[in-house]
Structure 1
Amino acid sequence: MIQRIDLRGRTLSRRELTDALPRAEVRVEDAAERVAPIIAQVREHGAATLRDLAERFDGVRPEHLRVPTAALADALEGLDPDVRAGLEEAIRRVRAVHAAQRPAEHTVELADGARVRQRWVPVRRVGLYVPGGLAVYPSTVVMNAVAAQEAGVAELVVTSPPQRENAGLPHPTVLAACALLGVDEVYAVGGAQAVAMLAYGARGTEPQDGGVLCEPVDVVTGPGNVYVAAAKRLVRGVVGIDAEAGPTEIAVLADDTADADHVAADLVSQAEHDPMAAAVLVTPSEALADAVEDRVAVRAGATKHAERVAEALAGSQSAIVLVDDVEQGLEVVDAYGAEHLELQTADASVLADRVRSAGAIFVGPYAPVSLGDYMAGSNHVLPTGGAAHSSSGLGVHSFVRAVHVVEYSRDALGELADRIVAVADAEDLPAHGEAVRARFETTATDGGHA
């Protein structure tokens, strides 16, 4: 069901190691070729194209691209009480963790009258993408919205694919989560076209749309399939993005102390997201590899989404990787840069501090990825496809900008004037130095006072 890659006894460069590890055959750069025309069509034709694409990809032509307020209220009223309690607990924990992320302003006094202050300013308006399709993700509403709210963002926009069985609106549980969080600007738009709408805005084409359906946002966040990730890459620069959060992935670094059934259950749990989901076990224990493979076969065959799980586990993106020891295993998972990394080893807590590349790290047998997906308090919107080498998971930092406020007195600037002029002249930018000298020259306009 799942391939094996044997790295034992091999000394590989970082490039060779990266090439040897499993990855999906459909890459973001490949998907971008299909996505670019969609973005151009949405930018040019607005709501008409959004409805055409919904009919093509989602099998329904939404009457209301913006979800009516009454539909949000109805969804919350009809929400299962147990689900509501679960979402409320998730909101409480995620809010507590993200409130602690708010960066503090600080001021540095460099000399008498020379001060640089750093402010943190939230962006004005954000677009939060919530996937649909094979699963329902009210938890993603929580992760996106709470982080933005704790950052102080004034305008939150949620977009999620329309559903034929819900009269062209997003799934009611997604709508209920929006209502629970006080988000009332919600759109029945999915896929790459949703990212395009958020980045460029969209004109209305039906009376119910109004003149402008959706105003552009400043930042787009949220997970999605490879086409959503490709769209985010293409609009980066027009708007900010969190990271390229495409199909989910889990890597488990485990030794012979790990429970094979726990590892198997965790691999299967991520594989049920999507046929393109990646599930990777890295272990120095061949006995554990054999046991996990046996348990995966049992669990994958018995789970509700067995066909989807089997396709994900058999794909080129999933594997059991055999290594010489945990030390080599750490090198492998760092090269892989997993969205979710589980450490099920004898020294997991110590090992966690040595990991350099992972979206989130889950330590020990009682911190499965499923905990992080819902109620750990951490954020589950994380970089995939190796983007964890350079990107962080979603958080308050995704929605704020650092702004330096520079305050210098006349004397403080005067102390640096000659040095500034010298460096400006060395760069052959003499007007820079002249702009400083002008503050200390006698001119006709200042009454002769220097």
Structure 2
Amino acid sequence: MIQRIDLRGRQLSRKELLGVLPRAEVGVDQAVDAVAPILEDVRRRGAAALRDVAERFDGVRPADLRVPAAALDDALATLDAGVRAGLEEAIRRVRRVHAEQRPVEHTTTLADGAQVRQRWIPVQRVGLYAPGGLAVYPSSVVMNVVAAQEAGVPGLAVASPPQKDNGGLPHPTILAACALLGVDEVYAVGGAQAVAMFAYGADGSEPQDGEVLCEPVDVVTGPGNVYVAAAKRLVRGVVGIDAEAGPTEIAVLADDTADAGHVALDLISQAEHDPMAASVLVTPSVELAAAVEARLADLADATKHAVRVTQALGGPQSAVVLVDDVEHGLEVVDAYGAEHLEIQTADAAALAERVRSAGAIFVGPWSPVSLGDYMAGSNHVLPTGGSAHFASGLGVHSFLKSVQVVEYTREALEEVADRIVAVANDEDLPAHGEAVRGRLQ
């Protein structure tokens, strides 16, 4: 079912290692060509394009692209009590963690009358995407909205795909989660087209004076499939993005102390997201590898989404990777840069401190990725496809701008004037120096 990659006894460079580790055949680079025309269509035609694309990909033509307030209220009123309690607990935990993420402003005094003040300013408006294709993710609404709220963002809009079974509106639980969080600007728009709507804004179906369906945002965040990730890449620069969060992935670094059943369950839990989801086990134990493979065969057939899970585990993006020892395994998972990294080894806590590239790290047998998906308090919107090498998961920082405020007195400027003039002249920018000298004459 799942391929094996044997790296034992092989000393590979980082470039070579990246070449042999499992990755999906269709990546963001390939998806860019497919989504570029959709983005341009939405940019030009607004709501009309959004309805056309929804009909093409979602099988429904939404009458209401912006969800009516009554639909949000009805969704919350009819929400299952157990689901509501779970969402409320997730909101409480995520809010508590994110409330402590906001950086502290400070002032640096360099000399008498010379100071630089560091400010952190929230963006004005954000577009938050909640997937709704093969599965529905009210938990993603929680992760996106709470982080933006704790950053102090004044304008929040949520988009999620229209559902045929819900009259062209997003899934009722998505709507209920928005209502729980006090978000009333919600759109029945999915996929790359939602990213385009947020980035460029969208006119109404019959634009008149000032008729706008959705105003442009400053930042677009949220997980999605490879096409959502490609759309975010294309609009980066027009707006900010959190990261290119494509199909989910899990890497488990485990030794012979790990429970094969636990490992297999966790690999399957991510595989059920999407046939393109990646599940990777890295281990020096041949015995554990064999035991996990056997458990995968049994558990995959018994799970609800067996076909999807089997496709994901059997795809080129999933593998059992054999390594020489745990140290070798650490090198491999760092090169892989997983969205979710579980460490199930004898020294898991110490090893976690040495990881350099992972979206989130789950330490020990009692911290499964599923905990992070819902109730850990951490954010589950994380970088995928190796982008954990340079990107972070969603958090308060995703919605803040760092601004430095410079304030000098005449005396403080005069103290460094000669040095400014010297460097400016050396760069052949004499007017820079003159802008200082002119003030002091």
Q: TM-score normalised to the size of structure 1?
A: 0.97
| Cα distance change of structure 1 residues 149 and 157 upon mapping to structure 2, 3 Å threshold | same
- Work out the CA distance in 2 between the residues paired with 1:439 and 1:379: 50
Q: Secondary structure in 2 aligned to 1:362? A: strand
Amino acid at match of 1:359: G
- Work out the CA distance in 2 between the residues paired with 1:425 and 1:386: 44
Task: Work out whether 1:49 is the aligned partner of 2:49.
Answer: yes
1:444 alignment partner in structure 2: none
2:186 alignment partner in structure 1: 186
- Please show how residues 24-423 of structure 1 align to structure 2 within 5 Å: 24-206=24-206, 211-423=211-423
- Work out the CA distance in 2 between the residues paired with 1:427 and 1:293: 63
Amino acid at match of 2:47: A
**1:280-316 deviation digits (Å, cap 9, x = unpaired):** 0000000000000000111100000000000000000
Q: Secondary structure in 2 aligned to 1:317? A: coil
- Work out the CA distance in 1 between the residues paired with 2:285 and 2:210: 62
- Assess if the C-alpha contact under 8 Å between 1:248 and 1:277 holds in 2: yes
Kindly state the Cα deviation for residue 337 of structure 1 after the two structures are TM-superposed.
Answer: 0.1
Q: Secondary structure in 2 aligned to 1:343? A: strand
Amino acid at match of 1:108: T
- Work out the CA distance in 2 between the residues paired with 1:177 and 1:78: 12
- Work out the CA distance in 2 between the residues paired with 1:390 and 1:343: 21
Amino acid at match of 1:233: R
Q: Secondary structure in 1 aligned to 2:16? A: helix
- Assess if the C-alpha contact under 8 Å between 1:66 and 1:209 holds in 2: no
1:448 alignment partner in structure 2: none
- Assess if the C-alpha contact under 8 Å between 1:204 and 1:210 holds in 2: no
| Cα distance change of structure 1 residues 184 and 7 upon mapping to structure 2, 3 Å threshold | same
Kindly state the Cα deviation for residue 206 of structure 1 after the two structures are TM-superposed.
Answer: 4.8
- Assess if the C-alpha contact under 8 Å between 1:204 and 1:212 holds in 2: yes
Q: Secondary structure in 1 aligned to 2:401? A: strand
Kindly state the Cα deviation for residue 209 of structure 1 after the two structures are TM-superposed.
Answer: 13
Identity of aligned residues (%): 80
- Work out the CA distance in 2 between the residues paired with 1:263 and 1:6: 19
Q: Which runs of 5+ in 1 are unaligned?
A: 442-450
- Work out the CA distance in 2 between the residues paired with 1:427 and 1:278: 51
Amino acid at match of 2:242: D
1:446 alignment partner in structure 2: none
- Work out the CA distance in 1 between the residues paired with 2:268 and 2:297: 9
- Assess if the C-alpha contact under 8 Å between 1:65 and 1:209 holds in 2: no
- Assess if the C-alpha contact under 8 Å between 1:64 and 1:208 holds in 2: no
- Work out the CA distance in 1 between the residues paired with 2:209 and 2:394: 31
Kindly state the Cα deviation for residue 247 of structure 1 after the two structures are TM-superposed.
Answer: 0.2
**1:393-418 deviation digits (Å, cap 9, x = unpaired):** 00000000010000000000000000
Amino acid at match of 1:158: V
**1:150-190 deviation digits (Å, cap 9, x = unpaired):** 00000100000000000000000000000000000000000
**1:247-287 deviation digits (Å, cap 9, x = unpaired):** 00000000000000000000000000000000000000000
Q: Secondary structure in 2 aligned to 1:136? A: coil
Amino acid at match of 2:201: G
- Assess if the C-alpha contact under 8 Å between 1:41 and 1:49 holds in 2: yes
Superposed CA RMSD: 1.1
Kindly state the Cα deviation for residue 208 of structure 1 after the two structures are TM-superposed.
Answer: 12
- Work out the CA distance in 2 between the residues paired with 1:209 and 1:318: 53
Q: Which runs of 5+ in 2 are unaligned?
A: none
- Work out the CA distance in 1 between the residues paired with 2:333 and 2:246: 18
Amino acid at match of 2:134: L
- Work out the CA distance in 1 between the residues paired with 2:133 and 2:361: 27
Q: TM-score normalised to the size of structure 2?
A: 0.99
- Assess if the C-alpha contact under 8 Å between 1:64 and 1:209 holds in 2: no
Kindly state the Cα deviation for residue 207 of structure 1 after the two structures are TM-superposed.
Answer: 8.6
Kindly state the Cα deviation for residue 55 of structure 1 after the two structures are TM-superposed.
Answer: 0.2
Amino acid at match of 1:17: L
Provide runs of 4+ in structure 1 moved above 3 Å: 206-210
Amino acid at match of 2:267: L
- Assess if the C-alpha contact under 8 Å between 1:258 and 1:344 holds in 2: yes
- Please show how residues 2-17 of structure 1 align to structure 2 within 5 Å: 2-17=2-17
- Work out the CA distance in 2 between the residues paired with 1:176 and 1:205: 27
- Work out the CA distance in 1 between the residues paired with 2:105 and 2:218: 22
Amino acid at match of 2:311: E
1:447 alignment partner in structure 2: none
Amino acid at match of 1:194: A
- Work out the CA distance in 1 between the residues paired with 2:380 and 2:133: 18
- Work out the CA distance in 2 between the residues paired with 1:200 and 1:271: 34
- Assess if the C-alpha contact under 8 Å between 1:125 and 1:218 holds in 2: yes
